[in-house]
Amino acid sequence: MDFNRTEFDRTLEEGMREAAEAIVRRCHAVALTGAGISVPSGIPDFRSPGGIWEKFDPMEYATIDAFLRDPAKVWEFFVELDELLLGAEPNPAHEALARLEAIGLLDGVITQNVDNLHRQAGSKIVVEFHGSGRQLICPGCGGRRYPEPDMQIPPVCSCGQAMKPDVVLFGEPPRSAPWKRRRSWRGDPGS
């Protein structure tokens, strides 16, 4: 047992040293993150036991077709997701990536997560491949707005269509805006 633990530590330490050397040697370093980085922040991986897909069948609650068919039903899932993300704080892994960016060793983060924890930790260049829950979007006209406390559920756009959080549902393409950012990756992050 002890031997295995020591072996594990040695492998981990070696891996970390290699990663650190690669980052220092690099021309461009970017971090690609997924659900695992937010698990220590208290957000269970959606697909793991205890994850949100155990309660909400994604085919019933997380496809764009399901949303267009019955927005109120899919909002039950969004409300639960919001509660799950609400209390979460960035953990040392998010903070370390923000720090690496701040000292010029990391160009940015590409994430599949919709929890906003990279930005909360202080990362400035964050490509949210699956969107984020910070804004609402209208699937009808593309209109956006920020959610308000005590808003009507589902929120309705001025065009009459129910709005959804700006997260990518199954059946929707990944956000295109992050790709456009590549051109200004090293410069103006605002476009």
CB nearer Zn ion, residue 122 or residue 143: 143
AA identity, residue 179:
W
Strand 108-111 relative to strand 126-128, pairing:
parallel
28 catalytic residue (yes or no) = no
Minimal distance, residue 138 CB to Zn ion, in Å: 3
Q: Which residues pair with 126 in a beta bridge?
A: 109
In the complex with Zn ion, the residue whose CB is nearer, 124 or 144, is 144
> Around 82, how many Cα atoms within 13 Å sit in the side-chain half-sphere?
17
Look up tokens 């077709």; give the residue. Answer: 65
Using CB under 5 A, count the residues that bind Zn ion.
7
Binding characters for Zn ion, 138-167, by CB under 5 A (x = yes):
x-xx-x-------------x-x-x------
Scan residues 24-53 and list those touching Zn ion (CB under 5 A). Answer: none
Q: Which residue in 28, 94, 118, 130 is the catalytic one?
A: 130
- Sequence-separated (6 or more) residues with CB below 8 Å from residue 117: 37, 38, 41, 88, 89, 90, 91, 94
Q: How far is the CB of 71 from Zn ion (least distance, A)?
A: 12
Rounded Cα distance between 109 and 187, Å, is: 15
Q: Of 70 and 80, which CB lies nearer to Zn ion in the complex structure?
A: 70
Q: Which residues are the active-site residues?
A: 130
Interface with Zn ion (CB under 5 A) = 138, 140-141, 143, 157, 159, 161
